[in-house]
Amino acid sequence: MSLAAIALGSNLGPREATLQAAVRRLRAEPGSRVLTASHFYETAPIDCPPGSGAYLNAVLTLETDRSPGELLALLLRIEAQFGRIRGDRNAPRTLDLDVLLYGQTQSSTLDLILPHPRMHERAFVLVPLAEIASETIHPTRGKTIAELLADLPQAERDEVRLATSPIVANPGRCQGLTCLVTGSSSGIGQAIAAAFTREGAKIATHGRRSGPGRHFAADLRDPSAVDRLAEDAWNAFPEGLDVLVCNAGADTLTGEAAKWSFDRKLEELLAVDLKSTMTLTRTIGAKMKKRGRGLILTVGWDQAETGMAGDSGELFAAVKGAIMAFTRSAALSLAPEVRVNNLAPGWIRTAWGETASKEWQDRVRRETPQGVWGLPEDVAAAAVWLASPDAAFQTGQTLRINGGAVR
């Protein structure tokens, strides 16, 4: 894997939303991993046609298995996907992606010069790059990025203004809802909790260890801990819970658990994934039904119905398939007051995906029609939709979040 620095810019259309989406697209690319990303900075257009809008700029670093030429080709494809039309060199653009550095590589072709030949002259590049890689040494100048920035006139540095604010799409779709998201300390659960919070919900989080805010620590392998979690989370809000997301799942793919026997992994998955989901759904679902409203989301797996060879495939198909079947029955039991739906993620880039081997990265490219990883935010967006009034007629359904993968 090689380390590259990429500059992002936009001065046409919804600039910040475009840059946010471009970062997400790069995060989803198999064989690459975004390590750090700067804030957004606004600068006046330089040598651009009259009337050009101000630029929003950022820089990110990523590891990649692509060569410099292959990386450039990827960036050009992404620019085109975001509506970039290449014409006049300094014309306004929806998205501009440039390779600044590729390790300590020095090379020059008709299409790509490394390091970028003008990066040391541009405050709008050096300011965000210094934020995330100040001690990186420029391959030809022999100075750190911080030193190159200090060499620029103070007036030029002052023209690069911090200009970042959160993007909220369709704010308030979950306004006032009370939610418990299990397994929300990281990954998909964390993204779901964050998305509900942005949309106006009041969140209770859960993990094995203590955490900040309205957080419940519970080991879901222990049935009595599951029972306590159901009661405590319901009582944390004056009118109980409006939404329950049963996201918690045992990690049997990374760390010491990856070395466990098949039987031990099965027991772990049955306890954490299946039994806790059933108990929480039945206990909290009964309270929701009695009160007259509620939504429950369970988490399955898109390949539970199509199958995957190997120990992990057999384990997850059995356990997640059971959750998906249980969801359909629970939806019938709790209707019409409570809706129960299942989220079935496909190749989602969680902790395991960040370090997956080249074989798995290639498999994602091959098996997903869109050719990229899904992100936890993609699953979170589906959860928010199912909790919104727009999905009021959806119950007993499995929603696959997998980039169109079918077999």
DSSP output for 359-374: HHHHHHHHH-TT-S-B
Q: Are 6 and 115 in contact (CB under 8 A)?
A: no
pLDDT for res 106: 96
pTM listed for this prediction? 0.78
pLDDT for res 84: 80
What is the phi/psi pair of residue 350, to 5°? -95, -165
pLDDT for res 10: 93
378 is catalytic: no
b/e map 39-74, b = 16+ CB within 10 Å: ebbbbeeeebeeebeebbbbbbbbebbbebeebbeb
Structure tokens given for 380: 């979170």
pLDDT for res 163: 84
Blockwise average pLDDT, block size 10, the chain, 407 residues:
95 87 91 94 81 89 96 93 74 90 95 95 96 96 97 94 56 84 95 94 94 93 97 94 96 90 96 98 96 95 92 95 98 96 94 85 90 94 93 95 84
96 is catalytic: yes
Q: Are 305 and 321 in contact (CB under 8 A)?
A: yes
pLDDT for res 17: 83
Which of these is catalytic: 15, 25, 96, 273? 96
pLDDT for res 87: 64
pLDDT for res 21: 86
Which of these is catalytic: 15, 27, 84, 339? 84
Eight-state DSSP code of residue 53 = P
Q: Are 391 and 385 in contact (CB under 8 A)?
A: yes
365 is catalytic: no
Distances (CA, A) of 119 to 42, 99, 173: 17, 10, 43
CA atoms within 13 A on the CB side of 391: 25
Eight-state DSSP code of residue 271 = I
Cα–Cα nearest to 271, from 282, 279, 262 = 279
Cα–Cα nearest to 279, from 237, 228, 317, 351 = 228
b/e map 263-281, b = 16+ CB within 10 Å: eebbebbbbbbbbbbbbbb
Which of these is catalytic: 33, 66, 93, 400? 93
Which of these is catalytic: 98, 273, 302, 378? 98
By the 10 Å C-beta count (0-12 exposed, 13-18 middle, 19+ buried), 246 is classed as buried
214 is catalytic: no
What is the phi/psi pair of residue 265, to 5°? -60, -40
pLDDT for res 121: 95
- Give the residues across from 162 on adjacent strands: 41
Q: What is the CA radius of gyration of the chain?
A: 24
